């Protein structure tokens, strides 16, 4: 796409942030009183978006499913949150709601496997949760589970989120026929289909579901035809992140016309075997692979796991994101299922305050689940008392 355009992303007396699109390059420009102090935030943001496969839709530029489009009220709020963070106030950007514990798959790695069951928050509780999250500053609401599309009212819940935040649904793709998509697309910003292998048999085996790969492919095609910003979410582990897997994955994504292939890393939580995670060599290979793609002008990978590296934004748990379990327990991260309160009896504001006052979330230089205090003090205590919103580390 060849174009020259400038978008105002944020404008206040303190700072003005602009996105410049020149030919097919995206750059940020910052001006204003606070600009010398926000240079670091700007350059971290720029690193994430400069090689993005941007899309123009409704006179907005969509840079990646990790950020709201520009210009938008949600992006302004996100940048405002970053300014506030800079002066010491932490407000969350992202709330993921596990809208159900039900799922028709039994994936080898599922972190939620111990939670899979009948649990569901009521529609009323979820709407209240959304209201409170938006009031707290959240700029993206992600609907997950279990399998979120097993809820008939998911389309209504997605459409309930107002312009203060973008919406994303993450799905295994088993239930997205034309009729469901008709209802879901209203108010939906991003739809991510999970894929664990570019090879049909391997994917179906991993998810223990026949024909799922085919369904994902058909679902992606239908979503792309409808102009929904559709992506693939690929959880990389040592068994699916060699060069051939990555190349075949990207070829598949490109042939299906997806907006992005988001790569995140496996965590040895849930039913995943302890220690079977990406090492530095695997991560370097994925980065190197992306460099090769960029050299060929192929902009499709969103290496989401890099956002959480120390030199970028660091760990998001209890700082930039938090999670709601299917029973309403609020946790700092999906992989650290410590409940800080239930939405049915406490306000989200109170719960967020409680999370923020815990020293575990003050230093973001390491993922919480890798911290000694979590591994050696908090986790064993919780295991002893069985105090989880859902059980973790069942292999330990």
Ligand X SMILES: C[S@@+](CC[C@H](N)C(=O)[O-])C[C@H]1O[C@@H](n2cnc3c(N)ncnc32)[C@H](O)[C@@H]1O
Taken in order 175, 179, 180, 185, is the CA torsion positive or negative? positive
Q: How far is the CB of 105 from ligand X (least distance, A)?
A: 7
* CB-based contacts of 145, cutoff 8 Å, min separation 6: 98, 99, 100, 101, 102, 103, 112, 326
302 binds, among ligand X, ligand SF4, none (CB under 5 to 8 A by kind): none
Location of structure tokens 């989200």: 348
Judged by CB under 6 A, the chain residues 100 through 129 that form the site for ligand X are 103, 109-112
- Residue 47 three-state SS: helix
The reply to whether 184 sits near ligand SF4 by the rule CB under 6 A is: no
The reply to whether 103 sits near ligand SF4 by the rule CB under 6 A is: yes
371 binds, among ligand SF4, ligand X, none (CB under 5 to 8 A by kind): none
In this chain, which residue has its C-beta nearest to ligand X? Answer: 194
Taken in order 142, 147, 149, 151, is the CA torsion positive or negative? negative
Torsion, CA 192, CA 108, CA 148, CA 74, rounded to 10: -40
106 binds, among ligand SF4, ligand X, none (CB under 5 to 8 A by kind): ligand SF4
The reply to whether 172 sits near ligand SF4 by the rule CB under 6 A is: yes
Total residues interacting with ligand X, rule: CB under 6 A: 19
Per-residue tokens: 88 = 């010491």
Closest listed residue to residue 266, CA positions, set 287, 283, 249: 283
Q: How far is the CB of 257 from ligand SF4 (least distance, A)?
A: 23
Q: Return d(Cα 231, Cα 276) in angstroms, integer.
A: 26
Among 165, 267, 330, 343, binds ligand X (CB under 6 A): 267
Total residues interacting with ligand SF4, rule: CB under 6 A: 11
Judged by CB under 6 A, the chain residues 125 through 164 that form the site for ligand X are 144-145, 147
- Residue 287 three-state SS: helix
The reply to whether 191 sits near ligand SF4 by the rule CB under 6 A is: no
Burial class (CB in 10 A: 0-12, 13-18, 19+), 99: buried
Judged by CB under 6 A, the chain residues 129 through 148 that form the site for ligand SF4 are 145-147
269 binds, among ligand SF4, ligand X, none (CB under 5 to 8 A by kind): ligand X
Other C-beta atoms closer than 10 Å to the C-beta of 366 total 13
Region binding ligand SF4 by CB under 6 A among candidate stretches 106-114, 319-327, 332-340, 374-382: 106-114
Going residue by residue from 233 to 262, which x/- string records binding to ligand X, judged by CB under 6 A?
x-x---------------------------
- Omega cis (within 30) before 71: yes
Among 17, 34, 78, 112, binds ligand SF4 (CB under 6 A): 112
Judged by CB under 6 A, the chain residues 39 through 58 that form the site for ligand SF4 are none
Q: How far is the CB of 205 from ligand SF4 (least distance, A)?
A: 13
The number of residues making up the chain comes to 396
Q: Return d(Cα 72, Cα 61) in angstroms, integer.
A: 9
The reply to whether 107 sits near ligand SF4 by the rule CB under 6 A is: yes
Q: How far is the CB of 93 from ligand X (least distance, A)?
A: 18
The residue among 14 and 180 lying less far from ligand SF4, judged by its C-beta, is 180
The reply to whether 83 sits near ligand SF4 by the rule CB under 6 A is: no
The residue among 289 and 304 lying less far from ligand SF4, judged by its C-beta, is 304
The reply to whether 172 sits near ligand X by the rule CB under 6 A is: yes
Cα end-to-end distance, the chain, whole Å: 50
Enclosing H/E stretch for 323: strand 321-324
Q: Are the beta carbons of 7 and 71 closer than 8 angstroms?
A: yes
The residue among 71 and 148 lying less far from ligand SF4, judged by its C-beta, is 148
Q: Return d(Cα 38, Cα 35) in angstroms, integer.
A: 5
DSSP notation for 70-117: BS-HHHHHHHHHHHHHHTT----SEEEEE--S--S---TT-TTTTT-S
The residue among 147 and 268 lying less far from ligand SF4, judged by its C-beta, is 147
Interface contacts to ligand SF4, rule CB under 6 A? 103, 105-107, 110, 112, 145-147, 172, 207
Interface contacts to ligand X, rule CB under 6 A? 103, 109-112, 144-145, 147, 170-172, 194, 233, 235, 266-267, 269-270, 272
């Amino acid at each position: 796409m060849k174009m020259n355009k400038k978008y105002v992303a944020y404008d206040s007396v303190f700072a003005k942030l602009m996105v410049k699109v020149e030919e097919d390059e995206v750059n940020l420009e910052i001006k204003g009183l606070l600009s010398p102090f926000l240079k670091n935030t700007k350059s971290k943001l720029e690193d994430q978006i400069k090689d993005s496969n941007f899309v123009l839709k409704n006179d907005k530029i969509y840079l990646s499913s990790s950020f709201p489009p520009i210009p938008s009220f949600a992006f302004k709020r996100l940048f405002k949150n970053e300014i506030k963070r800079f002066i010491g106030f932490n407000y969350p950007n992202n709330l993921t709601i596990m809208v159900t514990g039900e799922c028709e798959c039994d994936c080898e790695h599922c972190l939620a496997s111990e939670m899979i069951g009948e649990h569901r928050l009521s529609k009323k509780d979820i709407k209240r949760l959304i209201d409170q999250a938006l009031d707290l500053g959240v700029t993206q609401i992600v609907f997950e589970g279990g399998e979120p599309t097993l809820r008939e009212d998911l389309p209504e819940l997605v459409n309930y989120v107002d312009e203060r935040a973008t919406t994303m649904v993450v799905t295994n793709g088993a239930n997205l026929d034309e009729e469901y998509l008709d209802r879901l697309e209203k108010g939906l910003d991003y739809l991510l289909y999970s894929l664990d292998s570019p090879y049909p048999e391997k994917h179906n085996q991993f998810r223990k579901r026949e024909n799922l790969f085919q369904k994902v492919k058909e679902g992606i095609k239908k979503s792309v035809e409808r102009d929904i910003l559709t992506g693939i979410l690929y959880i990389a582990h040592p068994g699916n992140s060699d060069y051939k897997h990555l190349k075949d994955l990207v070829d598949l994504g490109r042939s299906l016309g997806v907006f992005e292939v988001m790569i995140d890393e496996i965590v040895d939580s849930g039913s995943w075997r302890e220690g079977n995670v990406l090492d530095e060599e695997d991560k370097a290979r994925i980065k190197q692979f992306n460099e090769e793609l960029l050299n060929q002008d192929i902009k499709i990978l969103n290496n989401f796991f890099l956002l959480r590296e120390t030199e970028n934004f660091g760990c998001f748990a209890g700082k930039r994101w938090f999670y709601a379990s299917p029973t309403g327990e609020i946790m700092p991260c999906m992989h650290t299922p410590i409940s800080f309160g239930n939405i049915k009896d406490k306000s989200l504001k109170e719960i967020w305050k409680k999370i923020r006052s815990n020293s575990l979330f003050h230093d973001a230089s390491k993922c919480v689940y890798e911290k000694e205090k979590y591994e050696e003090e908090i986790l064993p205590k919780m295991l002893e008392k069985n105090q989880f919103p859902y059980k973790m580390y069942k292999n330990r």
